[in-house]
Chain A
């Protein structure tokens, strides 16, 4: 090849690359606004913001596009919500199904839905509901007291095999402790068409609020009987009902499910409440966060959930709407007090030292969405059992070093477990959060060894089923307003995640759970949360604000702290 040839064939790409590099390289982005203020203040602020959305929805313009496209991050597991516990399945299920009880807009408190009123007996064992009239399922079956009892009987009498596996029937298994005679469900009695009494054989104060869970939605008994039942050992996820024919009472009905691709719904004409504004719903599955963002920016979808904090400035710049959910979650750094590495996390002074080493404000400012509330206990301020006088551990690196020295742990080395490539509502960017905390720990002399694992199954397996971890990040979004739904989930008993045996706390939780009247429970829960923060099994960090990104012409979206978002009021403008 001649020298001239060389010049042309290699210089072209070289010059071109440098030119592009130059154009692209000049740039940087804006620093974020800061988060501050006390916990309860921030919580009420978020709620106020939410109320604005409720008002805006009422005033939203009519008409508009006939399709609302909202991208999900994963394919729903099934169309029968009883057998699911993941947000994407529930997102779709909430459009088609309703439970006896709903949720007050912008809060986690129960509100009337299919039941207009209810009353619990003195002993807390039975609740009588008055049902909404004029409700029918999508297939024409009337909704009445008999349908309610049919539902409960079906939920309780699952055949043996996968139908009873907690991996599938997660919520029933967890809250009702079993099936048939082993569960705490006792019986269901009808009183005409609109009266129904459900009896339990053990008090369960969270019974009524838990009925707002999509897993306990009312499903058409006719459809279930026809297409949704299996024999012993059969797989309930593959029934015609669960894959192709779910029937509920909600404002939207099922059209089609193209597995791995999208779910299509259409407005239900016979809906008993306010009819849906938009005729069609499409929920495509776009598993990559960046792809969802790009699709919204390119106008290919109308919205998606859990926008990454790093994307917010760009989304805003391009005119997208950012809708904040009032946080009902908690992000925490957990300690494993029986780690296989032998790290001295069972020493209270070491745990306290770590707590003092962490600057929660910096973590929130740098890795969490703006408006996130700093946490001082293992639940957000809006939960009933929240106590505002728990022991707090201020950011104090000197105190941290002192404590470490006292405990004889000056050269402490810890494995810091975190999930790679996942985004949770309480933990939008785990890697960034881990990094900031690591730096803070290293500043007080702790050597941090980051250990990353893929979220599912590796990370979850490792931290919940093995002792092979020292400190890790995790969190939880509450399902309904019940302290048990937070503290009970974390500290209900000895677990491999936390690695401690504290009978005082376990017993106190069991006791509190058994009290039939919610009002009487609250003081007990308040004591509990104080005790937990003394014991310090971990460091609660914040309640991050999950953010939805919507297209600029979308109105009428009402966010819910517990993700109870029904899209009947959504309008996609021109």
Chain B
């Protein structure tokens, strides 16, 4: 197991190296050259010189690359052109909001998706199955932001339910020790804050969960229906094992493999979806930060984000691979 883990980790490294090279090249391809890209508009020639010195644009290319790598490794991604804040710290300040939203969406998608998919898989061809399949098809093809806009219009504005923006009611002045509002509500014993935060999370989570939900339902359904027809399930049935035992011990466990892989791989989709959802619902996470950075041509922020997100993505993929290795021993054999 350890060798497998080490191998997987080892494979990650060249990917990250490749990524930093790519980014290095990207910054230099930006219109106006790297100096323009990393320097705020309206900066005086003195400012430009100063920043060039910091990044070493006047030095030979290999020195530049080394400086760049060193900066990346130490977490120095420069300052946002817009706010002059260090990109690194801004990222971590806003990360809890996105993690909270993403986790809620994933939980929602899994908790609803797996049972739905299981039921549909067991009863293929039935009413329920058709409804589930069509709903999941619609979920996959409806763009997240269209759904988000629709939800925002229907619920708070027409029906007066839930909220159109933010993570908590403005002016609440609640304490936030961890930055995860749900957690904070619990930790500080403030039930109102917890409820408020939950109510604010409902619509964005639903919007964000739509696509992963649809995918999880379909994968689960397919996996379950496949497993059910396997010989060993029929054997178990012939042996007279109770249906629930069959379900638990055989069907679910074996069907879960592709499901787990899928759940893990949803992260990429969720991160992209988060950009759109956070923008529509004015949530202050990394997604909306990215949206602002795009609009402001804030290249240091864009660069930092790509690195961070790629890193997170790689870590999650690693976790999925490792868990796969735990669940299915066959994978570990090269």
Closest to A8 in B: B130
**Set B135, B282, B296: member contacting A286, Cβ < 8 A:** B282
Tell me if A237 counts as interface (CB < 8 A to partner B): yes
Q: How far is the CB of B48 from chain A (nearest CB, A)?
A: 12
Closest to A11 in B: B134
Segment of B37-45, B110-118, B256-264, B326-334 in the binding face: B37-45
Contact across chains for B41 and A291 when beta carbons are under 8 A apart: no
> Which residues A231-261 have CB closer than 8 A to chain B?
233, 235, 237-238, 259-261
Contact across chains for B282 and A291 when beta carbons are under 8 A apart: yes
Say whether, besides A454-B295, A457-B41, A294 and B164 are in contact (CB < 8 Å): yes
Contact across chains for B137 and A238 when beta carbons are under 8 A apart: no
Chain A: interface secondary structure? mixed
Residues of A within 8 A of B137 (CB): 9, 13
Contact across chains for A10 and B166 when beta carbons are under 8 A apart: no
Residues of A within 8 A of B40 (CB): 167
What is the 8 Å Cβ interface bit string for chain A, positions 334-370, against chain B (1 contact, 0 not)? 0000000000000000000000000000000000000
Contact across chains for B84 and A300 when beta carbons are under 8 A apart: no
Say whether, besides A235-B84, A261-B284, A300 and B296 are in contact (CB < 8 Å): no
Closest to A165 in B: B44
Residues of B within 8 A of A262 (CB): 170
Contact across chains for B47 and A162 when beta carbons are under 8 A apart: yes
Tell me if A174 counts as interface (CB < 8 A to partner B): no
A301 to B169, CA, bound (A): 9
Q: How far is the CB of A86 from chain B (nearest CB, A)?
A: 12
> Which residues B134-193 have CB closer than 8 A to chain A?
134-135, 137-138, 152, 156-157, 160, 163-166, 169-171, 173
**Set A238, A287, A454, A456: member contacting B282, Cβ < 8 A:** A287
Q: How far is the CB of B215 from chain A (nearest CB, A)?
A: 17
A94 to B257, CA, bound (A): 60
Residues of B within 8 A of A167 (CB): 40, 42-44
Q: How far is the CB of B134 from chain A (nearest CB, A)?
A: 4
A454 to B50, CA, bound (A): 28
Tell me if A288 counts as interface (CB < 8 A to partner B): yes
A291 to B173, CA, bound (A): 21
A13 to B137, CA, bound (A): 9
Say whether, besides A13-B134, A13-B138, A298-B157, A280 and B171 are in contact (CB < 8 Å): yes
A165 to B47, CA, bound (A): 10
Contact across chains for A260 and B164 when beta carbons are under 8 A apart: no
What is the 8 Å Cβ interface bit string for chain B, positions 286-312, against chain A (1 contact, 0 not)? 000100100111000000000000000
Residues of B within 8 A of A264 (CB): 171, 173
Closest to A458 in B: B297
Say whether, besides A9-B130, A298-B156, A300-B169, A238 and B163 are in contact (CB < 8 Å): no
Contact across chains for B169 and A75 when beta carbons are under 8 A apart: no
Tell me if B46 counts as interface (CB < 8 A to partner A): yes
Contact across chains for B165 and A5 when beta carbons are under 8 A apart: no
**Set B44, B131, B133, B164: member contacting A298, Cβ < 8 A:** B164
**Set B43, B127, B171, B280: member contacting A8, Cβ < 8 A:** B127
Number of B interface residues at 8 Å Cβ cutoff, please give it: 45
Say whether, besides A75-B83, A261-B284, A291-B165, A8 and B131 are in contact (CB < 8 Å): yes
Closest to B291 in A: A287
Q: How far is the CB of A447 from chain B (nearest CB, A)?
A: 29
Tell me if B240 counts as interface (CB < 8 A to partner A): no
What is the 8 Å Cβ interface bit string for chain B, positions 85-96, against chain A (1 contact, 0 not)? 100000001100
Closest to A168 in B: B42
Closest to B173 in A: A264
Residues of B within 8 A of A260 (CB): 83, 94, 284, 289
Contact across chains for A287 and B134 when beta carbons are under 8 A apart: no
Closest to B295 in A: A454
Residues of A within 8 A of B98 (CB): none
A280 to B138, CA, bound (A): 46
Residues of B within 8 A of A165 (CB): 42-44, 47
Contact across chains for A9 and B163 when beta carbons are under 8 A apart: no
Residues of A within 8 A of B83 (CB): 75, 259-260
Residues of B within 8 A of A2 (CB): 125
Residues of A within 8 A of B46 (CB): 161
A2 to B127, CA, bound (A): 12
Tell me if A284 counts as interface (CB < 8 A to partner B): yes
Q: How far is the CB of A441 from chain B (nearest CB, A)?
A: 30
Residues of A within 8 A of B205 (CB): none
Closest to B94 in A: A260
Tell me if B279 counts as interface (CB < 8 A to partner A): yes
Tell me if A297 counts as interface (CB < 8 A to partner B): yes
Residues of A within 8 A of B47 (CB): 162, 165
Hey, which bits of chain A sit against chain B, CB under 8 A?
2, 5, 8-10, 12-13, 67, 69, 75, 161-162, 165, 167, 233, 235, 237-238, 259-262, 264, 280, 282, 284, 286-288, 291, 294-295, 297-298, 300-301, 454, 456-457, 461
A161-B46, A297-B157 are known; give 17 further A-B pairs, CB within 8 A.
A2-B125, A9-B133, A9-B137, A10-B134, A67-B171, A69-B170, A162-B47, A238-B84, A259-B83, A260-B289, A284-B166, A286-B282, A287-B292, A291-B280, A291-B281, A456-B296, A457-B296
* 28 cross-chain CB contacts under 8 A: A5-B129, A5-B130, A8-B130, A8-B131, A9-B133, A10-B134, A12-B131, A12-B135, A13-B137, A67-B171, A69-B170, A75-B83, A165-B44, A167-B40, A167-B44, A259-B83, A259-B93, A280-B173, A288-B279, A291-B281, A294-B165, A295-B166, A298-B156, A298-B164, A300-B164, A300-B170, A301-B170, A457-B42
